[in-house]
């Protein structure tokens, strides 16, 4: 039986067909979920709507995660149309290009604020709005997307690594706050994948090759593998897992010198 039948899920962060969030949307839909996909701005709206049209039972709504009014409107629409929410996938992340290219010590105040706001605080803001809709259904699951740069230095990852560290800490605090309501909060730390976000990191191809050379599986990972892990955390199989950062990186995180 499909794992997410009769479940309603919100997926934030789909940009194009290469997005990890889109792979999760496909996997969740295949498991029977009804989905709401949000988009940030008119620039990617057409992409998201075109992708959504390939799946059944999908609603597309705007949501700029830096705009409280848009977030309020998003969850009001979910309540009105679906009556509640069972899971949420948070895939929003952004840093100014100049703050990824320059040494971390040169990060601007504004660049630091933007990276932490979009990439970390947005999880808190969205979770605060999702929690009441999940609690009314007896609980739910929230999954966000992280990277090993949260705890190790990767060339040109810079302020995004700091944002991911804040994101992972937020997962633990949210899991503690929301656990009594039956809401689980986890992160997936995926290996490097050629997404729109990765395109902004100089030398990304070198990072991919390092994983191929050093990871125990001697390869990188695919979006479908991350999506399968997400379905596990979103569905009943992951019912005992919360406050976790699940590594889906072909084992690279375990390697030393």
The CATH number assigned to the domain holding 215 equals 3.40.50.720
| pLDDT confidence of residue 236 | 97
Q: How far is CA 123 from CA 80, 128, 201, in A?
A: 22, 8, 22
pLDDT band at 196 (very low <50, low <70, confident <90, very high): low
Whole domain around residue 222: which residue ranges? 8-254
In a domain, 2, yes or no: no
Residues whose CB falls within 8 Å of the CB of residue 169, separated by 6 or more in sequence, listed in order: none
Q: What is the pLDDT of residue 140?
A: 98
Spatial CA neighbour of 86 closest among 36, 13, 122, 146: 36
The answer to whether residue 231 sits within a structural domain is yes
In a domain, 204, yes or no: yes
- Split at pLDDT 50, 70, 90, the class of 198 is low
Cα 131 to Cα 88: distance, rounded to the nearest angstrom: 10
Rg over alpha carbons for the chain, rounded to the nearest Å, is 17
What are the two backbone dihedrals, phi and then psi, of residue 83, each rounded to the nearest 5 degrees? 80, -5
The beta-strand segments (E) located in the chain are 8-12, 34-39, 58-62, 87-90, 140-146, 183-190, 245-248
Percent of the chain predicted with pLDDT > 70: 97
Catalytic residues: 147, 157
Within-domain flag for 3: no
Residue 194 has pLDDT above 80, yes or no: no
Better-scored residue on pLDDT, 252 or 204? 252
Residues 121-139 pLDDT 10s: 999 999 999 999 999 999 9
pLDDT band at 178 (very low <50, low <70, confident <90, very high): very high
Q: Is residue 128 part of a domain?
A: yes
- Domain count of the fold of the chain: 1
The answer to whether position 172 is within a domain reads yes
pLDDT mean over 199-210: 78
Sign of CA dihedral 10, 239, 131, 173: negative
- Quote the mean pLDDT of the chain: 95
What is the pLDDT at residue 207?
Answer: 86
Q: What is the pLDDT of residue 1?
A: 75
Calculate mean pLDDT across residues 88-104.
95
User: Per residue in 10-67, pLDDT tens?
Assistant: 999 999 999 999 999 999 999 999 999 999 989 999 999 999 999 999 999 999 999 9
Instruction: Identify whether 1 is part of a domain.
Output: no
Q: Is 38 exposed, middle or buried (0-12, 13-18, 19+ CB in 10 A)?
A: buried
């Amino acid at each position: 039986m499909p794992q997410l039948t009769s479940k309603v899920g919100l997926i934030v962060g789909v940009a194009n067909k290469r997005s990890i969030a889109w792979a999760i949307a496909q996997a969740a839909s295949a498991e029977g979920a009804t989905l709401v996909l949000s988009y940030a701005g008119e620039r990617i709206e057409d992409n998201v709507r075109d992708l959504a049209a390939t799946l059944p039972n999908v609603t597309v709504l705007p949501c700029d995660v830096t705009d409280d009014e848009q977030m309020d409107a998003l969850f009001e629409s979910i309540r009105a149309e679906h009556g509640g929410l069972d899971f949420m996938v948070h895939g929003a992340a952004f840093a100014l290009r100049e703050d990824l290219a320059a040494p971390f010590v040169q990060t601007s105040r504004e660049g630091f604020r933007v990276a932490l706001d979009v990439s970390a605080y947005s999880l808190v803001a969205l979770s605060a709005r999702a929690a009441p809709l999940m609690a009314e259904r007896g609980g739910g699951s929230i999954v966000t997307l992280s990277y090993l740069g949260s705890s190790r230095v990767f060339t040109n990852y810079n302020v995004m690594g700091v944002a991911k560290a804040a994101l992972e800490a937020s997962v633990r605090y949210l899991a503690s706050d929301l656990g009594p309501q039956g809401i689980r909060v986890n992160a997936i730390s995926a290996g490097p994948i050629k997404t729109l976000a990765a395109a902004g990191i100089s030398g990304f191809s070198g990072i991919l090759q390092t994983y191929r050379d050093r990871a125990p599986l001697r390869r990188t990972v695919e979006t479908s593998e991350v999506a399968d892990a997400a379905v596990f955390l979103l569905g009943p199989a992951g019912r005992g897992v919360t406050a976790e950062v699940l590594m889906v990186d072909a084992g690279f995180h375990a390697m030393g010198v």
